[in-house]
Amino acid sequence: MTGLLDGKVAVITGGGTGIGEAAAILLAAEGCRVVVSGRRADVIETVAKDISGLAVAADVADEGDVAGLFKACDDAHGRLDILVNNAGFGGGGVMGAADMDMDAWERTFAVNVRGVMLCIKHAIPLLERQGGTIVNVASIAGIKPNMRQIPYGASKAAVISLTRAVADEVGALGIRVNAICPGAVDTPLFRANAAERSARTGGKVADDVKRIAGLSSLGRLTTCEEVASGILFLATEASGSVTGTRLVMDAGKV
């Protein structure tokens, strides 16, 4: 039985956990050869081993690391068809404009915006050989930011804008560029943040999770596997005329 992505090659950043891991597993199941990247070598190596992929440790905010990532992909496979820009930083916690931690601001933009741009920059020479697709994992926070979480929302808004700008530029090369905007996704990071909020307020983790889930029309969190299915759609010919847009997957929050 053939897969939707037989013969294709993908690079997935932040591929060791959560959405990135789910995307790596799904794309590999559809016949794609996946390069799994992240800062923690042990984590990405575990995922890569499970899907017979290639693990390449890299910090997306470091251009030398990013250049090395795409060279490793080219050396191993001789092509690139799909880039999933999933690596992200949560913004450094809850803070308002008047008490902004500028170090957290800089780190957020370094990973969430600079990292996306660097990966796009170094992916284009590979993608333009035969055409391909880029999926940037943004967030509904880039559409409707959360109060006192300014760095994260601003960075994801930048990713949405960058998506459209690059799509307009590279369409003639046969490259499509889209953003996917998840809402609250049930990831290890989400659960850790829920625990942190609960410890700060003296509440229960289960109550915090229920509260967040209740903000959506469906009354639940989005799963990593659901977001991965959106990434798969944007990576296949099923979305062949889709570029420069954003796909919201938030259980109906915005």
Minimal CA–CA distance to 8: which of 62, 56, 70, 77? 77
Count of C-beta atoms within a 10 Å radius of residue 52? 9
Phi, psi of 17 (to 5 degrees): -145, 170
Residue that has been written with the tokens 């499509």 in this structure = 176
DSSP string covering 36-104: EEES-HHHHHHHHHHTT-EEEE--TT-HHHHHHHHHHHHHHHS---EEEE------SSSB-STT--HHH
Strands (E) across 103-213 are located at: 132-137, 175-182
Alpha-carbon 128 to chain mean position: 21
Is-contact 18 187, C-beta < 8 A? yes
Catalytic-residue membership of 152:
yes
Strand partners, 180: 137, 247
Is-contact 82 75, C-beta < 8 A? no
List the catalytic residue out of 70, 89, 105, 152. Answer: 152
Distance, CA of 198 to CA of 200 (rounded, Å): 5
Q: Classify each residue of 178-202 as buried b or exposed e, where b means 16 or more C-beta atoms within 10 Å of its C-beta.
A: bbbbbbbbbbeebeebbeebbeeee
User: Active-site residues: which are they?
Assistant: 152
